[in-house]
Amino acid sequence: MRDAVTTLIKTYDDTGRYLDQNALNSIKSYFDSGLDRVKAAAVISANASEIVKEAGSTLFEQVPELIRPGGNAYTTRRYAACLRDMDYYLRYGSYALVAGNPDVLDERVLAGLRETYNSLSVPIGPTVVGIQIMKDIVKTKVQESGVADAAVVDSPFDYMCRSLSEVSI
Q: How many Å apart are CA 49 and CA 92, to the nearest integer?
A: 14
Domains in the chain: ranges and CATH: 1-32 (no CATH), 34-165 (1.10.490.20)
Give me the DSSP letters along 104-149: HHIIIIIHHHHHHHHHHT--SHHHHHHHHHHHHHHHHHHHHTT-S-
According to DSSP, residue 86 is labeled: H
pTM listed for this prediction:
0.90
Q: How many Å apart are CA 89 and CA 163, to the nearest integer?
A: 13
Among left, alpha and beta (phi > 0; psi -120 to 50; other), residue 17 is: beta
Average pLDDT over residues 134-156: 97
Query: pLDDT category, 167, cuts 50, 70, 90?
Result: low
pLDDT digit string (tens) for 51-109? Answer: 999 999 999 999 999 999 999 999 999 999 999 999 999 999 999 999 999 999 998 88
Mean pLDDT in the chain?
A: 93
What pLDDT shows up at residue 169? 42
Q: How many Å apart are CA 157 and CA 51, to the nearest integer?
A: 14
The answer to whether 126 and 117 are in contact (CB under 8 A) is: no
Least Cα distance to 44 among 96, 105, 84 occurs for: 96
The answer to whether 42 and 153 are in contact (CB under 8 A) is: no
